[in-house]
Each structure stands twice: as C-alpha cells, then as structure tokens.
Structure 1
Amino acid sequence: MAFDPLQERGIPLDEQMRDWRELNVTPIDPDHADPYTRCRIITMNGIETEAILFSHQLARHCPDTELRRQLARVRYLEAQQQRVVNWLLPGVASVLETTIAYEQVAVDLTSWVARMEPDPYLRQAYQFGVLEDFDHLYRYANLYEMIEHRKAEKIVDNLTEVMPGRPTYLHHRDPMDNVREPYDRTRTEPLSRLHALTIMAAEQQTMNFYMNVGPMHMEPIARQLYQEIGLIEEEHVTHYESLVDPGESWWEMLLNHEYNECYLYYSFMETESDPKVKNIWELHLGMELEHLRLAAELFKRFDGRDPDQVLAPALPPPVTFEPNKAYVRDLLSTQIDYTTLGTGYVREAHERFSKMQEAIMGGEQPPSERVIDDNRAISGQDYRFEVEAAVSR
C-alpha cells in the first residue's frame, strides 16, 4: 500500500527532544559496514543541513515573531537529527576516506536520480554532472593511494568503478554557463521537485565539506586538489539549484523540503541493511511527519492552497543506492565531451569556456592532472578500479 506522509501520524513535537545519551550514537564500523549505508548517512547529512540552512533563511525573511519561534523550535530538532546522522560516520576514517565516500554518493545517487527523472531537460542536467563527480572520484582515489598507500576499492567495494570521467580540468566554466533553466512549478512532476532538492542538497554538502577540510591536509598536492575540486562543487551547486523554480513561495519551498525529508527517510528505512541505522531512519521519519504536518498548515494558511495541489498523493518508489556501472559507462561513451553554453550543452569549446580555462590555469598544469602524474611516478601507474564485465545498470 502506498505511503502518504500527509495521512500518517508523526511524533508530537513535544516528544521529539533528545538528551545527550540519545544523541551520542555509536558510529558504523568502516571495515564491516555496507558502503551504501555510509552513502545513505552522507546523503541524509546533506539533506538535514539543507533543511537547517533553508529554515534560517526563511526566518531571516519572516517578520512575524511567533512564526520565527515555530521555525526555531523545529530547526533545533532538525539540528539534533543532523548531529545524530553525521555522528554515525566513524572517527577512525581519514578525511580522504570520507571524501571518497562522498564521491561515491555523488556518482550512484545522481545516476539513480537521472535514471528515474521523467523530465528530459532535468535528466540531462544530472547526466552532465555525474560524469564530473565520477572523475573527481578517480582523482581522489589516486591521491589516497599516493599519500595513504591504500586502495579506494576497499571503500567503494565492488559497487562503484574508479576510472577517468570527463577530465576535471575541463569542469572550469564561466559562471554564466553554470545556470540552467528551472522547472515550471505549475507543470512539473512532483518527483522532479524531489530530485532537484535531493541533488542540490547533496552537492551543497559536498561543497561545504571540501571547503572546510581541504586546508586540514599537510601535503601541498592534497590542499591544491581540494581547492580545485571544491571550486567545481560550487559550480555544481549553482547548476543544480538553478533547476528549482524561483517562483515557489517560501511556504511552498518549506513544504517541499519537509516532504522530501519524509521521502528520503522512508526510502532509506525501506532499503537499509544495518538494523541500528534503520532504527534511526524510522525514528527520524516519525519526527519529519510532524514537521511536514506543521509545514502543511503554514502552506494552507499563507498560500491559501491545499498541499495536495503541489505534492504527490503518495511517496514515489524508494530512492535506492545500487551499482550504476553500465549506466555510467554508457554516458562516458556518449557525453564525455559535453560542456555548457548558456542554459544548454555543446560538444565544442567556445569563447567563454576558453577564456575561463586560460584564466584559471594561469599557464600551469592543474592539481587534478598533477595528482595523476605524481601517483604514476610513485606507484608506477595511475590507480583505477574497473570491473571486467560492467553488467549492472
């Protein structure tokens, strides 16, 4: 039977506050956990972080003190959720190991969304981005082998391949060409709204992570690689956030955020292999159902519409982390030479792209190329992890 979050009872707000003992969750074991459990954790960290940041922005534009108090109350509970989710990550994992997991999220989550996206223009946006994150995974995997003397295949398991995508140095585009056309809120499928919010939040979290952890490395090549890819993640956030219709009201955006949180917690509860983590997804879903109910009341009050006018009547099929090897390889064979021009895509370099390349490179080889050369010099070859027969989707 279909799950309709608007018809389900959540945990009353007064019962959602947790103490330190409840917040101090035991992290997953990086040596034995399902890699996709870690991917789900990273994804929900990004989703909760976006929820918190959006609520702060809404509060800063809201003149009603009582409404700001309600937002603050829910936001504090979202902040507790974010800490619980993020604290599931193991402290024994290095920054680079977590980075590789972030890129595995970007590859397999974005691939899944692209496969499920009903709108051809939006689907193309996800296909374009995934080939760049795929190459970032390859660059970081080489850095990992070079400075930690370990193989990324231990982190991604047999689920995601590690090999070159669209070369990272070609990702530096004029900012004007990172802005896409938004979906039309009056006509788009509810699923497309959820996809856009999900990938925007995931990429935003990656951008924030890299801009903060990059300078924590001692090795010059590591600091430089994080700086380069971190700037590309800024481009990706622009790319994905521009897909969201800016004509949505604050209350419609709040409604979509809360519905999307319900969708993802429900999805991960349904697909999680770790019982302990599954229990957290289930608990947080119960909390989010109440957050959604409150957002729906505000939407009806200030927009004068029923939530059913913009939300799906029931949740779509669950978001699923699964291998996408053949799908990515197909994109590599057909779209690796794409770049952007205006709100569209072209195969050849153009004047703005060439000027950006000249400006950012400064006549020097970029860190993303040097890390491959440096690893070849140390290891005898660049690091790749390819599956002989890529038969998965």
Structure 2
Amino acid sequence: MSFNPLEERGIPLEQQVRNWRELNVTPIDPDHCDPYTRCRIITMNGIETEAVFFSHNLARHCMDSDVRRELARTRYIEAQQQRVVNWLLPGLSSVLETAIAYEQVASDLTAWVARMEPDPYLRQAYEFGVLEDFDHLYRYANLYEMIEHRKAESIVDNLTEVMPGRPTKFQHRDPVDNVRDPYDRASTNPLSKLHALTIMATEQQTMNFYMNVGPMYMEPIARQLYQEIGMIEEEHVTHYESLVDPGETWWEQLVNHEYNECYMYYSFMEQETDPKVKSIWELHLNMELEHLRIAADLMRRHDGREAAEVVAPELPRPVTFESNKAFIRNLLDTQIDITTLGAGYVREAHERFQAMQQRVNGDGLVPSEQVIEDHREMFGRDYRVQSEGEHPVASLRAPH
C-alpha cells in the first residue's frame, strides 16, 4: 500500500513535548535482542542527530527571527526523539560492543543501499565505502576478544561475517581524493537523495562517537585503533556528504531531511520485531509527519515551491536490515584493491595515494595492523566469524 507522507496528518507540534517519565524508555536487552533491532536504534540515532545538527546550522544562517523560533520548536522535539532513541541502547553494553554494532550498521545498511541505489556512480560510492567499514568490524572484533574476552559473534549473531575487508591501513588517502561528484538535484531519482542523507548521517554519527570515546580507554592499542579508524570515518563523512548537491536550497534540504526521517521511521516500523521499540518508531513517525508539514510550509513561504516538487510522491520500498554476505563477498572478490583518484576510482597506487601512505604509515606503527598481531600473539590466530563454505579472500592486496 502506498504511503505519501505529504498527505498524512501527524501529531500537532504543541502535543509532542514529553515529560521525563515518557522520555525514560526501557533499554533493549543486549543478550536477547534481535541484533538488527540494535542496528535500527543506532541508525535512527544518527538520523535524528543529523536532523538536529542541520537545524542548528540553518538557524545560524537565517536572518528571520520568526523562522528561527519555528526551527527551535521543531528542533526541541527532534532532540527529545534523539534522546529516546539513543537511550534505548543498554548501559550494560560496553563502548567496544557498541562500536562493533556501529560497524555492523555501516556494513549491512550501506550494502543494502548499494544494492538498491539506481544511479551507477552513487552505487559505486557505497560499494567502495562498505568494504572499509567491513574491515573496521574485523579490527574491532579482534580488539574485543583481547580486552573483554568475548566474541563479536555474540553481537552480530552470524548475520554479518567478521573477516578482513579492504585493509584499514590502505584506507588513508589524500583528502582531495575523498570528495566525490554530487548528484544533480534537478534530475536525480528522489531515492538517491534519501540514500545519501541516510549514509551520511550514520557515518557522521560513527565519526563523532569514535572521536569522543577513543581517549577514554586505558589500553594503548585501543586508544590507537579508535584514533586510526576515527580518521577514516572523517574521510567517509567527506565521501558521502559530497554526494549531496550543494545547489539545494536550505529549505529544500530541510524538506529532504524531514521526508527522510518519515521514510526511515516508516521502514523500521514495518519490520521491527520488538513491540516496545516498534511503538516508538510509530510514535516518532506520527511526529515527523507534522515536522515535514512545517518544513513544507517554510519551503512554500521562502522558496516559492511545493515540497512535492523535490520529493517522491510516495515512500520508496522500506529500508531493510538483512544479511548481505553474498553481496559483500562479491565486492571483496572484485573491488578490494580499488582506491580513489579525484572524484573517480582506480586500481593503481597513484602518487598522492603513495605519498599519504608514506606520511601516515611510514614509521611502521599502524594500529589496525598491530591489533591483529597482538591478537595472534595472545591467541595464536586472528578472530573471524565466517559462514561455511568460506573461500580465500585476497584481503591484503593494496592498490598496485
């Protein structure tokens, strides 16, 4: 059944403010929850955080105090939504367990988006990025067994394989080679806009998470690994945010953000297995419908256009968390040795790539490699979780 959020009525904004009791949600049980429930929570936290950040940035560039007040009212609700969503994560989970879950999100959500993306150039951007987050999952899984003496399988539950991707040490690139060409806002498929916003928001959340929690560790290898992977996440945010057409007006971007929130809450409401969490997705969807109406009104008043001119007439196929083992294995077979050059992709280790490698990795201390060496010294092996029928993956190839 089609669902057009522009035609639906949500909860009036003045009825959306919640008290502390209502905000005090019961967290999920980390040992018995559906791993993809955890992934949906992490994803929506990233989406809501991006919505709040964007609204703040728009307010800082707006001269109209009445508009700033309108944005503040909606933003307060978005901030409450973010607290509810993020507080669904349990305090029982360690920071490292949450990091592993973040990388499961990055692997399976980006893989799904790559499979569904209609634009070949944008699809390549997601295919490129997923192999890097996939490798981060492998590095953190080894650190997890070393520090906490538990296995990542208890978190990813065999839905996502844990094995090397494009080696993290080969992910350090000259910053100029992280900037992609944007889609054309006038001609791109509306689904592509939603994909770009979603993956940008989730990668931004991961970048912020690592840059804040990394120095809280005592173990030197943990501090070093979070620092290294955190710098890759900075590259990823540049990679994905550059896909968005900078020619979109502030009001157009606002509508796209609110529409995407409707899309994501609707998608997750449709597939959620935890009844309590599902009820939150449904409530937030009904709130976001009103936020979208307000954004559409602002666009009409300040841009002279209707929201229907820039978004899809109905929500696309729901975003789905599902296992992507075969898809990722195919990428490992065919794209492991790709790097970027300008806004394109190449297989050769070009001059800028080599210079950056020498600059950051030249003294031989590479945390993402050291964590594997330390794990092998401790256990006599590295840590992997793979399905039966595994075939060798040329995971240590560099661009040549």
TM-score tier by shorter-chain length is: over 0.9
Q: Which secondary structure state, in structure 1, belongs to the residue aligned with residue 205 of structure 2? A: helix
- Displacement after TM superposition at 1:365 (Å): 2.9
- Displacement after TM superposition at 1:307 (Å): 1.3
- Displacement after TM superposition at 1:303 (Å): 1.3
Q: Within 5 A, what are the aligned runs for 1:214-363?
A: 214-363=214-363
**2:212 alignment counterpart:** 212
- Displacement after TM superposition at 1:308 (Å): 1.3
- Displacement after TM superposition at 1:389 (Å): 4.2
CA–CA separation in structure 2 for the residues paired with 1:20 and 1:160:
36
Matched, 1:189 2:183: no
8 A contact 2:39–2:101 mirrored in 1: yes
Give the letter aligned to residue 224 of structure 1: Q
**2:396 alignment counterpart:** none
Runs (5+) with no aligned partner, structure 1: none
Give the letter aligned to residue 154 of structure 2: K
CA–CA separation in structure 1 for the residues paired with 2:388 and 2:121:
32
Matched, 1:68 2:71: no
Q: Within 5 A, what are the aligned runs for 1:51-200?
A: 51-200=51-200
8 A contact 2:141–2:162 mirrored in 1: yes
- Displacement after TM superposition at 1:53 (Å): 0.3
Give the letter aligned to residue 345 of structure 1: Y
Alpha-carbon deviations, 1:99-134, whole Å to 9, x = none? 000000000000000000000000000000000000
- Displacement after TM superposition at 1:278 (Å): 0.1
Q: TM-score, normalised by structure 1?
A: 0.99
- Displacement after TM superposition at 1:305 (Å): 1.3
- Displacement after TM superposition at 1:362 (Å): 3.7
**2:9 alignment counterpart:** 9
- Displacement after TM superposition at 1:46 (Å): 0.3
Give the letter aligned to residue 369 of structure 1: E
- Displacement after TM superposition at 1:360 (Å): 0.9
Give the letter aligned to residue 222 of structure 1: A
- Displacement after TM superposition at 1:302 (Å): 1.3
- Displacement after TM superposition at 1:158 (Å): 1.7
**2:397 alignment counterpart:** none
Q: TM-score, normalised by structure 2?
A: 0.97
CA–CA separation in structure 1 for the residues paired with 2:388 and 2:332:
16
CA–CA separation in structure 1 for the residues paired with 2:43 and 2:376:
32
8 A contact 2:158–2:386 mirrored in 1: no
CA–CA separation in structure 2 for the residues paired with 1:154 and 1:326:
21
- Displacement after TM superposition at 1:363 (Å): 1.5
Runs of 4+ in 1 over 3 A off after TM superposition: none
Runs (5+) with no aligned partner, structure 2: 391-400
Alpha-carbon deviations, 1:181-228, whole Å to 9, x = none? 000000000000000000000000000000000011110000000000
Give the letter aligned to residue 85 of structure 2: V
CA–CA separation in structure 2 for the residues paired with 1:22 and 1:102:
26
CA–CA separation in structure 1 for the residues paired with 2:306 and 2:94:
47
Alpha-carbon deviations, 1:272-329, whole Å to 9, x = none? 0000000000000000000000000111111111211111000001000000000000
- Say if 1:213 and 1:261 are closer, same or farther in 2 by CA, change over 3 A: same
CA–CA separation in structure 1 for the residues paired with 2:245 and 2:333:
32
Aligned residues: 391
Give the letter aligned to residue 12 of structure 2: P
- Displacement after TM superposition at 1:361 (Å): 1.6
Give the letter aligned to residue 98 of structure 1: T
Alpha-carbon deviations, 1:335-386, whole Å to 9, x = none? 0000000000000101001111111124223000000000000011000000
Matched, 1:50 2:50: yes
CA–CA separation in structure 2 for the residues paired with 1:236 and 1:171:
10
